[in-house]
């Protein structure tokens, strides 16, 4: 992936994340306007006291409804003031407070573009994430890994994100391979490590090393040749799924020679994962196979797969699966996905999906694009739509062009107030209630007739 190398030298003086109480007070009165946010007193500035400030330690104080709510609740200065407090709290003695601070920063970065703010504090944020990954337990490590991936998304490809990955990559890799670490922490680290490498890695050797690390994890789920039974789900299955999906993402940015090598290695082993009793593993394996077929046919239009009959038979069975011992929800989900996978393998067809964000829409028309979108949506959550509108890196990945500039009048007409949403939901609820009442009346009449 082409990268624009821009050296943005961070301001060392600002890398501390937050200033003294006096500095905070100055920021609060910037522009000659006094705000209601009170600066920390000398007593409040101590970390021990700050850990009890619920306004900083509660990540839910960042709205999860998106950037619009953030704009309603405060200005950019309010947000930066709160973030400085969160950055300080990543040094707190309490693990819960550190975790909440990491989640608060991550939620803010997922909901709003804050490039200049984090660029000045990149080194401090990286140090905080590194400390929490090394010394924290499961939940804190997960929060730190998630913040690392969103930090790289904000910075985009370039020297700054490369330096973040250079510092945090070895630690994330160590956690992923550590059999004594929490499965949940290893799972999150695998997903986030894959996203960070996709964005920031500029060293082919490091990319290959990451692929090998992830391979060593998910290949443990491969069905051995001597075994003929279904692969049983284990506590490690979630880790294997995340590792496989992260590996598949990185495969899309590998040189052609490396892609061919990986395809030859895994094309005949990956189908064994379709026999797993975990529906998510079956789906992950099926989607990875569809993506691999797409890559292979992109390199060779006449690509031939020797075991095509056997593979299509397995895919067709999963697309029409009616086993009674499986949950109905799992069967519906599996059948829907594997119908598309079967079409991709047999007919080279992909059902186009449309993603709407703001006044724009994006068409997902291939498995590579779908897998990339799904990965970043998992990392950003509800902030994905905002980043598709504003984040130049993601817009380049999905070939959306420069961000669309909208005037205030257009934004106002697009925005629906909470009151209007409430009225709409109330009307829909009343209409649904009336419709259901009519259906109940008809059933009652039929019962009386018989």
Encode pLDDT of 189-203 as tens digits: 999 999 999 999 988
Residue 237: strand pairing partners = none
Structure confidence at residue 431 (pLDDT): 75
Is 45 within a domain? yes
Is 86 within a domain? yes
Q: In the chain, how many domains are there?
A: 1
Burial class (CB in 10 A: 0-12, 13-18, 19+), 194: buried
Residue 186 CA to residue 177 CA, distance in Å, equals 8
Contacts of 73 (CB under 8 A, 6+ apart): 63
Is 187 within a domain? yes
Is 323 within a domain? no
User: Between β-strands 353-357 and 360-364, what pairing exists: parallel, antiparallel or unpaired?
Assistant: antiparallel
Structure confidence at residue 64 (pLDDT): 44
Question: How many residues make up the chain in this entry?
Answer: 450
Instruction: State the pTM of this model.
Output: 0.75
pLDDT < 70: residue spans in the chain: 1-74, 223-230, 324-325, 406-418, 420-421, 424, 438-450
Q: Is 353 helix (H, G, I), strand (E, B) or coil?
A: strand
Structure confidence at residue 44 (pLDDT): 40
Residue 117 CA to residue 105 CA, distance in Å, equals 12
Is 103 within a domain? yes
Structure confidence at residue 9 (pLDDT): 43
Structure confidence at residue 102 (pLDDT): 97
Is 111 within a domain? yes
For residue 133, give the CATH number of its domain.
Answer: 1.25.10
Structure confidence at residue 28 (pLDDT): 41
Residue 430 CA to residue 411 CA, distance in Å, equals 30
Is 231 within a domain? no
183-200 and 367-380 helices, crossing angle to 10° = 120
CA-derived radius of gyration, the chain: 25
Is 30 within a domain? yes
**93: containing domain:** 8-202
Structure confidence at residue 298 (pLDDT): 94
**Which residue intervals of 236-359 are DSSP H helices?**
237-251, 256-266, 279-299, 308-319, 328-347
SS (H, E, C) 8-20: CCCCHHHCCCCCC
279-299 and 367-380 helices, crossing angle to 10° = 140
């Amino acid at each position: 992936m082409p990268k624009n190398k821009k050296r943005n030298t961070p301001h060392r003086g600002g890398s501390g994340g937050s200033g003294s109480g006096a500095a905070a007070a100055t920021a609060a009165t910037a522009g000659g306007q006094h705000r209601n946010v009170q600066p920390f007193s000398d007593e409040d500035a101590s970390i021990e006291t700050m850990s009890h400030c619920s306004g900083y330690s509660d990540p839910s104080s960042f709205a999860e409804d998106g950037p619009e709510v953030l704009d309603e609740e405060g200005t950019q200065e309010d947000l930066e003031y709160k973030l400085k407090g969160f950055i300080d709290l990543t040094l707190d003695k309490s693990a819960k407070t550190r975790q909440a601070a990491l989640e608060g920063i991550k939620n803010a970065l997922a909901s709003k573009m804050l490039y200049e703010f984090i660029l000045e504090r990149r080194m401090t944020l990286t140090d905080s994430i590194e400390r929490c990954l090394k010394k924290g337990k499961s939940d804190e490590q997960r929060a730190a890994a998630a913040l690392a991936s969103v930090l790289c998304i904000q910075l985009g490809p370039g020297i700054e994100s490369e330096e973040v990955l250079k510092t945090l990559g070895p630690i994330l890799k160590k956690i992923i391979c550590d059999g004594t670490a929490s499965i949940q922490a290893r799972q999150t680290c695998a997903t986030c490590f894959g996203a960070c490498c996709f964005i920031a890695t500029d060293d082919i050797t490091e990319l290959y090393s990451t692929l090998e690390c992830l391979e060593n994890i998910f290949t443990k789920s491969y069905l051995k040749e001597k075994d003929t039974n279904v692969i049983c789900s284990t506590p490690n299955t979630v880790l294997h799924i995340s590792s496989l999906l992260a590996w598949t993402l990185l495969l899309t940015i590998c040189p052609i020679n490396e892609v061919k090598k990986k395809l030859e290695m895994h094309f005949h082993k990956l189908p064994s994962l379709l026999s797993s009793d975990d529906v998510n593993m079956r789906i992950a394996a099926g989607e990875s196979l569809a993506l691999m077929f797409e890559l292979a046919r992109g390199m060779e239009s006449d690509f031939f797969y020797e075991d095509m009959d056997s593979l299509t038979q397995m895919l067709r069975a999963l697309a029409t699966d009616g086993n009674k011992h499986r949950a109905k929800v799992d069967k519906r989900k599996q059948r829907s996905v594997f119908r598309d996978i079967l079409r991709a393998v047999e007919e080279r067809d992909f059902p186009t999906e449309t993603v709407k964000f703001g006044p724009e829409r994006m068409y997902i028309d291939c498995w590579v694009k779908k897998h990339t979108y799904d990965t970043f949506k998992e990392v950003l959550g509800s902030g994905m739509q905002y980043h598709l509108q504003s984040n130049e890196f993601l817009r380049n990945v999905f070939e959306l062009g420069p961000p669309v500039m909208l005037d205030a009048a257009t934004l106002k007409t697009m925005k629906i107030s909470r009151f209007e949403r409430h009225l709409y939901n109330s009307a829909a609820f009343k209409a649904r209630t009336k419709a259901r009442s009519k259906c109940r009346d008809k059933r009652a009449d039929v019962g009386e007739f018989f």
